[in-house]
Amino acid sequence: MPNRFTTTAMRGFGPLPRIVREQAGEQTANLLFTDSGVPLALLDRPDARLPLVDMIAIFERAALVLDDPLLGLDVGCAMPPEAFGDWVRYAAAGRTLRHGIARLCRAMRYYQTAGNMRAEVHGDLVRLAYHQSVADPARARQHADHALPPMIGFVRHFLGPAWQPHWVELPYRAAAGPEELAIRLGVEVRFGRPGVGMVFERCALDTPGNTAPPGFAALRRMVEGRPEGEVTAALIDVVDLRLVDGEVELDGAATRLGLQRRALQRRLQAEGQSYRDIVDAARRAHAERALATTSRPVAEIAQSLGYGEPAHFTRAFHRWHGCSPNSWRRQRAN
């Protein structure tokens, strides 16, 4: 069963939705996401999260729909490193490339739960690689390809726009015509390696950086709300994903994580969490966002969050803020 505990940010799709819409039409693009259980509303929320296995599957299906074996590479080439969020900006502001890579490896967990980026020194060479353990590399080719150009771009922040690694590495076996990939990247590609990565000179690690660090507010956004518990972190993302469609039942969330209801409850208890509290926090965040950024009626917001009666939502909001939803909205507007 795929590991659904590893979740990732929607921003990782980059221009993929737009590319599919332009080449295959709006309906096909919409079905690509909804058939995978990903609400279309999340496309406008780059920091919303979904299981990594779903993102990988959508990349693969998109390549089949468009009959484009290099779709992943096209997406990656259109994504500068900072497109992945504040955590990359934080890493790019390292004092040296060595410091930046250390930050990159540590901070990735704020983008992808259980994300694994690591650097290894082998004599005079360094290997920087991203590893995912949720899908067979043969069925994750497009996602792997899309990760390479931004990784190269990150090192170029320190070493200059013309810099190239000695070679790059991909975890799947070479398909027909692998030379096209090498031509597009302008560097040798080695297949069947442990992760998505590149190899370069060790001496480059001491190259100083020149990027201004992100502001405190950006760093706070990066770290807030990321719990330590593996299941709790994944469940928070799944609840947020399902709440877009007003779905709050425990059984559905357990299914999305590949667990039985009782097994999920036991795992949460072991991490000191409860499903009710997680749903409550997600509802609060969704409610505040809807009240602050839209003019939707309170009754409509209540229904969208899975409340059977608007009065139930109003009582919950009083518990959160000590006032009614309408009063809170008016205060925000002043």
Confidence (pLDDT) at 188 = 95
* pLDDT, position 227: 59
Q: Write the DSSP string, 181-214.
A: HHHHHTSEEE-S-SSEEEEEEGGGGGPBP-PPPP
* CATH number of 294's domain: 1.10.10.60
- Provide mean pLDDT across the span 302-308: 93
**Is 115 inside a domain boundary?**
yes
Check whether residue 179 and residue 64 sit in a common domain. Answer: yes
Q: Output the pLDDT for position 231.
A: 87
Phi, psi of 302 (to 5 degrees): -60, -45
Q: Which amino acid is at 275?
A: Y
Look at residue 223 and tell me if it is in a domain: no
Are residue 130 and residue 265 in the same domain, yes or no? no
Q: What does the alpha-carbon distance between residue 178 and residue 192 come to, in Å, rounded to a whole number?
A: 12
Same domain, yes or no, for 235 and 111?
A: no
217-229 pLDDT, tens digit per residue, is 776 776 665 656 7
Q: DSSP for 106-163?
A: HHGGGTBTT-EEEEEEETTEEEEEEE--SS-GGG-HHHHHHHHHHHHHHHHHHH-TT-
Residue 104's nearest CA partner among 140, 51, 171, 155 is 155
Mark which of 147, 175, 206 sits at the end of a domain. Answer: 206
Structural domain ending residue among the three candidates 206, 241, 265: 206
Let me know whether 199 and 237 are in one domain.
no
Q: Would the pLDDT of 334 be above 80? A: no
End residue of a domain, out of 156, 175, 206: 206
Q: What's the length of the chain?
A: 334
Q: What percent of the chain has pLDDT over 70?
A: 95
So what's the pLDDT on residue 2?
A: 64
Residue 237 confidence (pLDDT): 86
User: Minimal CA–CA distance to 162: which of 129, 126, 187?
Assistant: 187
CA distance 327 to 324: 5
Q: In this structure, is residue 211 part of a structural domain?
A: no
214 within some domain = no
Look-up of token digits 């036991």: 266
Q: Which residues contact 250 (CB under 8 A, 6 or more apart)?
A: 261, 264, 265, 275
CB 241 within 8 A of CB 48: yes
Domain that holds residue 202: 7-206
pLDDT at 139: 95
Are both 175 and 245 inside the same structural domain?
Answer: no
CA distance 225 to 278: 11
With beta carbons less than 8 A apart as the criterion, state whether 127 and 118 touch. Answer: no
Same domain, 156 and 301: no
Strand-pair category, 49-51 with 116-122: unpaired
- Rounded CA-CA distance 281/244 in Å is 14
Per-residue pLDDT, averaged over 101-107, amounts to 92
pLDDT tens digits along 6-41: 899 999 999 999 999 999 999 999 999 999 989 998
> Is the pLDDT confidence value at 97 over 70?
yes
The answer to the question of residue 212 being in a domain is no
CATH of the domain at 191: 3.90.1520
Query: For residue 145, how far is the Cα from the chain centroid?
Result: 16
Tell me, yes or no, whether 2 lies in a domain.
no
- Work out whether the CA dihedral 2, 55, 190, 64 comes out positive or negative: positive
Percent of the chain at pLDDT exceeding 90: 73
Residue 175 covered by a domain? yes
Give yes or no: residues 244 and 294 share one domain.
Answer: yes
- The number of distinct structural domains making up the chain is 2
SS3 175: coil
> What is the model's pLDDT at position 229?
74
Assess whether 75 and 109 both reside in one domain. yes
The structure's pTM equals 0.85
Residue 17 gets the label, from left (phi > 0), alpha (psi -120 to 50) or beta, of alpha
Q: Residues 117, 152: one domain? A: yes
Same domain, yes or no: 136 and 285: no
Residue 222 lies in a domain: no
Average of per-residue pLDDT values in the chain: 91
Residue 294 phi, psi (nearest 5) = -135, 170
Both 27 and 135 in a single domain?
yes
Are residues 51 and 182 part of one domain? Answer: yes
Whether 184 shows a pLDDT value over 60: the answer reads yes
- pLDDT higher at 190 or 215: 190
pLDDT tens-digit profile of 36-71?
989 998 999 998 999 999 999 999 999 999 999 999
